[in-house]
Structure 1
Amino acid sequence: MVDVLYSFVDINQRFDQLVFDPFYIRNLNMTFMTMKSFYDRMYSINNHVFDKICKNVLPKIYHQINELIVEQNSMERVLHNINYPQLYSLTLLGFSENVLFNHLTSNKILRQLLIEQIAHLKVDINDEPGEPSSETLAMMFALILSLCKQLIKLNFLNVKSFDDCLYLLDGRLNCLSKLIIGIKIIADTSGTIDNTKKLPKLKHFSLMSYRHTLLYDSLIVPLLRRMVNLENLILYLSIIRNNKNYIDGNELYNDILIYMPQLNKFTFNIRTNVDKKNDGIVFSSNEDIQHSFRRKEYGLVGSYVETFTTSVEYKCYSNSMPYHFKSGMFDNVQSLIMTDIYPFENNFFDVISQSFPLLKELYIFNEKPQKNKQQSMTLIAFSHLIDLDLSSAHADYAERFLVDKHCYLPCLLNINIRYEPLALVTNNFTGDATRLTCSKLTSVCLEEPFVSPETFSKYFPLL
């Protein structure tokens, strides 16, 4: 949209009539994302383009914009002198805590919008990972809670602690029906925020946390039990347990779903890591796990149980899956986690690439070799894939995705993988078959330490 507005406005009257057609000018994204790697991204907009849009475009369309996306460098001009009478959805991308807090306290138009109009708010805080929640963040939450009385949908990415989540659900957002939240670390809370009060207005809840947590039973389960009228639940969690069986369908139903009689859709990816020190525990088999998800609430579920003979560590991956893949059904899906007890066939990836044309993140959890590996492989293309995680996948999948004649990955920037399969598929970082894909990577995450051979840096020149 930014390119269209910049390129075609003020050429002639006919172009202006087309560009400013109120049927099309509803959603305005005033950002442009540049990426060094999947984890290092920046939102900005060219100054020359931005100047032209602010001067020649915004004064003509401000009254018909419903949804607006801005980043911190453009906020001052986009939300300074112009009001947006039809605006109900606001997205704030790539803000630091201090900058966003300053806008919330000093920008009169922003405050007025939050108080009177904004029903959908998305906030993506761009601070360094691992930093503890600050006093500024707490004050910012307090401001949002006090201003956003009309808020129905809140999407808050990259909050730092579980306290932040509890703070947003303390009851002051009394119109809130949908909350999507990403928590960096689910660890101990301060204990000062009530985690027992029911949340009858909440209909949709999505909780994502990529790091391991020990506090599923003590923090997450009590929170979910408060959502008595929930209709849609999404969970992405990695859980550590000591001397306790894997989380399965029976436990999810008895601990959570039985408290949600209105629930009609449950989407999840749950990874249970168990440290077994008690020989008396009998762990569920993968067949047991599959059987525990027989209730209609789950639909089709994939699972994979993994044990390590040299340690006392046990893992179970379980995730909900669509009943079938059909091109067009999932066009907007950008992240996909593939977990299965069976090896993925080659033609299965053809279906995936066609069914998810906008896929940007792909995670494969399957340590079994592919079946029929010797059959001819057709070239598959993931034209938008940026991040590929093969850290829990057999070396066959590294070959399937990194060999240039098997897979076309023009946008791939980051890969998570173990050293051994990477060295194997690249022929110790000398092979030509994988050179093109590897030469474009800007980030390679290897879980184990290794001594870098001389050929490594030449094989990955952008690292």
Structure 2
Amino acid sequence: MKNYLNILDIPDEILFLIFQRLNAVEVFTSLEDVNQRFHRLAFDPLLIRDLNMTTITNINSFYDQNFSIDSNVLSRICKNILPQIHSQVHKLTVEQDSMKEILHAGTYPQLYSLSLINFEEEIIYQYLTDDLVLRDLLTKQITHLNIDMKMPEGSDSETISKIFQLILSLCKNLISLNFCDMYPTRSCFNHLHYLFQESYMPSSLNKLKINLPVLTYCLYLLDGPLVSLSTLIINVSSIFHPEMLEPIDPTKKLPNLKYFSFTSFGYTFEYDNLIVPLLCRMINLEELQLYLSVGRFYPSLIDGNQLYDQFLIYMTQLRKFTFNIKTWVTFDTITNEIPTSEDIQRTFIGRIDEPVAAYVYMKSYPRPRDCVCHVYTLPYDFEYFTDLNNSFQGGMFEKVRRLKMWDTNPFEYKLFKIISQDFPFLEFLYIANDCSQEENQHSSTTITFPNLTLLDLKYAHVDYAKLFLFKQNMSLPRLINLTIKYKSLVTITDNFTKSATLFNFDKLKSLDVCEQFVGSKTFHDYFPLL
């Protein structure tokens, strides 16, 4: 006779851990009235302390998620539950459609952290302007604020700037601000340069996480308005040397800055002119994180000796330095021998405390004498890995959630097998390769990407669509978002005549075919959830 585990037999400690994995709406609606024991656990002060009042009701894609709560459920929670527990809430997460009712259901005297999720810019601006309860909380209590906005194409940067201004002027006690950098799929690059005046900046603010379109805005921030910051986490879209609106002192020290994280995915040729001088100003830095791609027209690969001589020598308080740095150099006029991966790796000995991986490889495109040097600390400390190619050396990348692959030589089955093992928690995969695979006969062993939710094959040869989208080749149990050329889709399905059960389309909730098309009669049979 089989023994089945009854949930009522699970110890309180295990149930509590389960409840912690649920949001408050799920707990209140599912467990409140089960029995007295469940009621006690559901209203445990440790659970209520951090109250997440959002619930994802619809996922069209990673770029289009609906967090709204059913109106009847919301009304019952606000009427019967929140008035009992509001005084125990320290951290609160809300979305735009339910925020007003939730905030008006209690006074939240201990609330210090507020997260506003999935807001449209005009709506959040209206709340910040007109909602007296929200304004009062921001003015008197909130020290930690997280903002997430839906950013459709054509977003009004002026409105975003006004929102930023309102937040900084209202939040007199603000210590930490995450402005539009909460989710990797919704990175809003904020044009805020004309607001960088000291009158807008609360003196208490010491931590800022933000995305900016150009490095110039970061320089303005640090030149005066946010000179007292101790932690700055910044993602910059472009690094170039535009004309400055006002002169910025490139030698002004930043003695208060203790933690600096800087990410820029695009290649820049201004590393020596802009990045290095900025880092040299951070004389009391204790932790530094860099994600950079550097282009050079002269024969010099960034290695351990360069990093030390350029800025590490000035950071006498530095305790931790993690990085992912690529140097792309044109060697057309070079007669000297190109350094090997081992040569580069040796330059870090005695310079960097953390273990460092390094590999040097030649690129055949766009120029046959281009050389790339890729160096990064171990264990790899970033959620993204870009421009992975056939020179990939392997390793374990447990933190990586987003991977971009690009090469002018074909990616073969063996490489994807390695990637599935080395990137076990990968969620987003982008493949750019228009070369057909040379090994068309794939192994009988199915490759599994257990956590992959987004696959982008827009710039991929049809062979990669065949490899990833046939179930006999790949297991993609969580794939819900697919970008693919319509022509590739027609090819692999034989114009939608093959059995739909052969493909990894079962759970797709978003399909981008990159063009207008008229689908066949059987098209929608392949995508039941669209």
| Normalised TM-score (structure 2) | 0.65
- Number of aligned positions between the proteins: 448
Contact 1:119 1:150 in 2 (8 A): yes
Q: Which of 265, 276, 288 does residue 233 from structure 1 map onto?
A: 288
- Tell me, what secondary structure is at the counterpart of 2:94? strand
Unmatched 5+ residue regions in structure 2? 1-22, 182-187, 191-212, 382-395
Residue 263 in 1 paired to residue 318 in 2?
A: yes
> What percentage of aligned pairs have identical amino acids?
38
Q: Cα deviation per residue 1:317-372 (whole Å; 9 max; x = unaligned)?
A: 736364499xxxx999462447899986566455446x53xx4324579999899x
For residues 139-178 of structure 1, the aligned pairs below 5 Å read 139-148=162-171, 150-156=173-179, 157=181, 158-160=188-190, 161-162=213-214, 165-166=218-219, 168-169=221-222, 171-172=224-225, 176-178=229-231
1:37 CA displacement: 2.5
Contact 1:22 1:64 in 2 (8 A): yes
RMSD: 4.9
- Tell me, what secondary structure is at the counterpart of 2:503? helix
Distance in 1, Cα, partners of 2:81 & 2:397: 31
1:304 CA displacement: 6.3
The amino acid of 1:145's aligned partner reads L
1:335 alignment counterpart? 401
Deviates more, 1:316-325 or 1:108-117: 316-325
Q: Cα deviation per residue 1:163-187 (whole Å; 9 max; x = unaligned)?
A: 5545654555576433333445556
1:442 alignment counterpart? 510
2:18 alignment counterpart? none
1:412 CA displacement: 1.9
1:301 alignment counterpart? 357
- Tell me, what secondary structure is at the counterpart of 2:110? coil
1:131 CA displacement: 5.2
Unmatched 5+ residue regions in structure 1? none
Deviates more, 1:12-21 or 1:208-217: 208-217
- Tell me, what secondary structure is at the counterpart of 2:134? helix
Distance in 1, Cα, partners of 2:516 & 2:362: 28
- Tell me, what secondary structure is at the counterpart of 1:410? coil
2:302 alignment counterpart? 248
Sort the Cα spacing of 1:128 and 1:346 in 2 relative to 1 into closer, same or farther, 3 A: closer
Q: Which of 179, 184, 187 does residue 232 from structure 2 map onto?
A: 179
1:413 alignment counterpart? 480
Residue 201 in 1 paired to residue 269 in 2?
A: no
Residue 93 in 1 paired to residue 139 in 2?
A: no
Sort the Cα spacing of 1:302 and 1:427 in 2 relative to 1 into closer, same or farther, 3 A: farther
Sort the Cα spacing of 1:301 and 1:154 in 2 relative to 1 into closer, same or farther, 3 A: farther
Deviates more, 1:305-314 or 1:223-232: 305-314
1:300 CA displacement: 3.4
Contact 1:171 1:199 in 2 (8 A): no
Which one has the largest radius of gyration?
Answer: 2
1:436 CA displacement: 2.0
1:54 CA displacement: 1.9
2:127 alignment counterpart? 103
Q: Which of 12, 16, 28 does residue 51 from structure 2 map onto?
A: 28
Distance in 2, Cα, partners of 1:93 & 1:406: 38
| Normalised TM-score (structure 1) | 0.73
Residue 360 in 1 paired to residue 427 in 2?
A: yes
1:3 CA displacement: 0.9
The amino acid of 2:428's aligned partner reads E
The amino acid of 1:380's aligned partner reads T
Q: Cα deviation per residue 1:233-255 (whole Å; 9 max; x = unaligned)?
A: 3344555x463457633444444
Distance in 1, Cα, partners of 2:54 & 2:513: 28
Deviates more, 1:59-68 or 1:229-238: 229-238
Q: Which of 191, 214, 220 does residue 245 from structure 2 map onto?
A: 191
Sort the Cα spacing of 1:424 and 1:102 in 2 relative to 1 into closer, same or farther, 3 A: same
Higher relative contact order (CA 8 A, sep 6+): 1
Contact 2:357 2:376 in 1 (8 A): yes
2:78 alignment counterpart? 54
1:27 CA displacement: 1.7
Contact 1:155 1:181 in 2 (8 A): no
The amino acid of 2:50's aligned partner reads N
Q: Which of 21, 28, 31 does residue 5 from structure 1 map onto?
A: 28
Sort the Cα spacing of 1:285 and 1:171 in 2 relative to 1 into closer, same or farther, 3 A: same
